[in-house]
């Protein structure tokens, strides 16, 4: 089953890392805050977790059904 991601708008510092790493799954909104494209479900599990871990603001949460995945 694929995972889905959510970006915490208040935590995102607009580094652009997720957008650069996975432009098919993350994009900037008009305020240059990242958001997912369709929950970033186009990424496989390992890739999505890697992108989330690389967020310098820890602003990307990853969910399996309704449960948040521990990214540590």
Q: Which residues bind ligand SF4 (CB under 6 A)?
A: 7, 12-19, 34, 55-57, 59-60
Q: What whole-number distance in Å separates Cα of residue 68 and Cα of residue 22?
A: 20
Q: How far is CA 34 from the centre of its chain?
A: 8
Nearer to ligand SF4, 1 or 26 (CB): 26
Nearer to ligand SF4, 31 or 66 (CB): 31
Closest approach, Cβ 25 to ligand SF4, in A, equals 11
Nearer to ligand SF4, 29 or 64 (CB): 29
CB burial of residue 52 (10 Å; 0-12, 13-18, 19+): buried
């Amino acid at each position: 089953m694929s995972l889905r991601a959510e970006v915490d708008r208040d935590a995102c510092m607009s580094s652009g890392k997720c957008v650069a790493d996975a432009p098919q799954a993350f994009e900037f909104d008009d305020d240059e805050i990242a958001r997912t494209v369709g929950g970033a479900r186009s990424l496989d599990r390992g890739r999505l977790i890697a992108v989330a871990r690389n967020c310098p603001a820890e602003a990307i949460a990853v969910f399996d059904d309704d449960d948040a995945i521990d990214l540590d």
